[in-house]
Structure 1
Amino acid sequence: MARNRNAENPVRAATLRKWYARAWWVGVHVYGYVVLGVKGALSPQALPMAQFVVYLVVAVVTIGCYIVLQLSSPGQLDKRPMLAPVQTSSPKEAGSPAPVGPEDGDDTELLADGLGDEQTRDSADLHFCNECHVFQPLRTKHCKDCARCTRQYDHHCDCVGTCVGENNRRLFVLYLLLQILEGAVMIDVTSLAFTERDDINDWFKTNALFIVLWFMLMCVLLIVVPLFCYQAYLISTNQTSWEHARRSSITYLHNLPDKRSPFDRGIVQNWWVFLSNGDRNKWVHSTAAKPMIHDASSLV
């Protein structure tokens, strides 16, 4: 019964996954630092002072970044009160196929041209979210796990328990990098802490705590390293995870004549815009027109 209720309520299910992920993160860190600290492996006596200080700084900064990321906002749109129904032309009446939405199953609809007031006409080619009752600017998607629309939606990350979007994606990538550094540091300290034994059974018994920690850290790195590399590729091409994975279902992407991102300005400039928090929504595709004339930010 509980599983069925969670399946019907994605927000509740996402909240549970968030707390499971937090429990795993806290458990790994508490176990790791307690084992290394109690056994004396992570101490000024076991390591050169400079190395110990660097490792300690990496640990503190990583934990701090994780906490800030948990509290960060991805750039969600404010929900509006229920609006009056917008009259759109029916695909059957118009004799044309239904427009492709940003993602299959999204609670959004594409507004048609020729609608009444000036604001609605300026909103042509924008999606209207039936859950948040707002027009979605370019690259915005409704997250069912958060029940909110997020600007420059990348993905809902269960590992950190939050959406990744316009406002916190740089922080998310920084956290991934710090987590890789911390994992490498802890693996290095753990490897140095192993005690040699002539008998293999004695070796396993003596180093059991370190063996468990070593495998836990490897599991973390097997998740974080590919994710960081994937994010680096997406940043280099100015894409989001959602755009890369669901390109054929996204209105402003599926009809483009080639597979490159319409926002791609080249690797160097893409990284500069990302790191400087510049305008990543600038349409630069040379053979396709931008799908809207006016900036939609005033409509939300």
Structure 2
Amino acid sequence: MLCKNCQCGVNVCVRLTHTALCIAVPATLLWKNSGLKRAVVDGDDPLYGILYFLVLILSLVMYYTACLTDPGYILMTHAKKRNGIQAISNEQEDSCPSEDEVEDTSLNADCEEPLDKGSKYRYCDFCEIQQPMRSKHCEDCKRCVRKYDHHCPWLETCVGERNHKFFLMFLFVMSVVIIWTFCITLKALESRVQWSEWFKVNLLLFLDILVLIFGGFSVLGLCGFHSYLMLNGLTTWESVSREKITYLKYLDDNYNPFDEGYIRNVYYFLCFLNVRRWETIYFQKAKIKTSNGVV
């Protein structure tokens, strides 16, 4: 287990590495005879250069927003044993949103009892709490996370209910940057008769292309996959571990109780700011399914 200072150091190193790569590739294009250099340094098309760097900066803003936003850590009740007596100290009361801050079907489960008291909820032995539906304990963060998606090593944090939208926005903007940069880099390659001469002249651009190809496959693939998850109201954890999840494994394989249709799924994913109470949606869907005679 890493100590807090070590973990913080890992976080900083990973994030600075990402930032360095995002800056290094365009920097080589400004040094070599590329369309970006002609637009920015030579002043042929400054608007083109400004637009490119605005998109690049936006990708970094989305990256750090996803990194630094609370993914949805569940407030814990801290238990301290002193002389055999267990003293409980709760989190501050104002951590629970007021009724004006939360939609009728989107209550903060830290402040409310589970909707269906007959239901069996997962108990986290590490955090010593009953997890709200769609939550999972992250072994890397040592916390339970709402609507857990996955722990991202490139962000060095979890992706959960509160930062999943920023993660997808980062992937989308980063995909645009990678494709745009790849096109500029290809056009900047200089032709030579001998392969040795070509390689010497285009070495930096060739390294840029390798970085863009390997990074591009990952980013574009993740962008497509998480767009699919958003449209279908799923998470990565639910998609790949359905048979292990208590509230899903007994349902039909093709049935998703959290799917509210493409429009509502996208709206709640991108535009809704508060956490939702997924128990409400789950049991409403269960009632509708039962009333239709489908078991």
What TM-score do the two structures reach when normalised by structure 1?
0.74
- Give the residue type in structure 2 aligned to 1:72: T
Partner of 2:72: 75
Flag structure 1 segments of 5+ consecutive residues without an equivalent.
Answer: 1-5, 85-118, 290-300
Residue 247 of structure 2 aligns to a residue whose secondary structure is coil
Among 49, 53, 58, the residue aligned to 1:52? 49
Shift in alpha-carbon separation, 1:22–1:47, aligned structure 2, 3 A: farther
Deviation at 1:69, TM superposition (A): 1.9
Residue 73 of structure 2 aligns to a residue whose secondary structure is coil
Q: Does 1:25 align with 2:18?
A: yes
Deviation at 1:141, TM superposition (A): 0.7
- Give the residue type in structure 1 aligned to 2:30: G
* Segment of structure 1 superposing worse, 156-165 or 36-45: 36-45
Q: Is the 8 A contact 2:66 2:164 kept in 1?
A: no
* Segment of structure 1 superposing worse, 247-256 or 29-38: 29-38
Deviation at 1:171, TM superposition (A): 0.4
- Give the residue type in structure 1 aligned to 2:59: T
Q: Does 1:134 align with 2:136?
A: no
Q: Does 1:231 align with 2:247?
A: no
Q: Is the 8 A contact 1:14 1:145 kept in 2?
A: no
Residue 287 of structure 1 aligns to a residue whose secondary structure is helix
Identity %: 27
Partner of 1:268: 263
CA distance in 1, matches of 2:253, 2:11: 37
Shift in alpha-carbon separation, 1:258–1:66, aligned structure 2, 3 A: closer
Shift in alpha-carbon separation, 1:216–1:47, aligned structure 2, 3 A: farther
* Segment of structure 1 superposing worse, 170-179 or 55-64: 55-64
Partner of 1:62: 59
Q: Is the 8 A contact 1:78 1:132 kept in 2?
A: no
Partner of 2:167: 172
Q: Is the 8 A contact 1:274 1:280 kept in 2?
A: no
* CA offset digits 1:110-132 (Å, max 9, x no partner): xxxxxxxxx69938412221211
- Give the residue type in structure 1 aligned to 2:32: K
CA distance in 1, matches of 2:184, 2:118: 57
- Give the residue type in structure 2 aligned to 1:155: H
- Give the residue type in structure 1 aligned to 2:62: C
Partner of 2:139: 144
Among 190, 207, 211, the residue aligned to 1:212? 207
Residue 156 of structure 1 aligns to a residue whose secondary structure is strand
Flag structure 2 segments of 5+ consecutive residues without an equivalent.
Answer: 82-112
Deviation at 1:163, TM superposition (A): 0.4
CA distance in 1, matches of 2:144, 2:257: 22
Shift in alpha-carbon separation, 1:13–1:136, aligned structure 2, 3 A: farther
CA distance in 1, matches of 2:187, 2:140: 42
Question: CA RMSD, aligned part only?
Answer: 2.8
Deviation at 1:195, TM superposition (A): 1.5
Shift in alpha-carbon separation, 1:128–1:219, aligned structure 2, 3 A: same
Q: Does 1:39 align with 2:36?
A: no
Partner of 2:86: none
* CA offset digits 1:64-96 (Å, max 9, x no partner): 221222211101012222389xxxxxxxxxxxx
Partner of 1:203: 198
- Give the residue type in structure 2 aligned to 1:30: I
CA distance in 2, matches of 1:166, 1:197: 52
Partner of 1:97: none
- Give the residue type in structure 2 aligned to 1:287: K
Residue 212 of structure 1 aligns to a residue whose secondary structure is helix
Shift in alpha-carbon separation, 1:10–1:243, aligned structure 2, 3 A: farther
Partner of 1:102: none
Q: Is the 8 A contact 1:154 1:164 kept in 2?
A: yes
Q: Is the 8 A contact 2:63 2:166 kept in 1?
A: no
Shift in alpha-carbon separation, 1:133–1:280, aligned structure 2, 3 A: closer
What TM-score do the two structures reach when normalised by structure 2?
0.75
CA distance in 1, matches of 2:165, 2:255: 22
- Give the residue type in structure 2 aligned to 1:201: S
* CA offset digits 1:256-277 (Å, max 9, x no partner): 1342211112223222222222
CA distance in 1, matches of 2:70, 2:129: 18
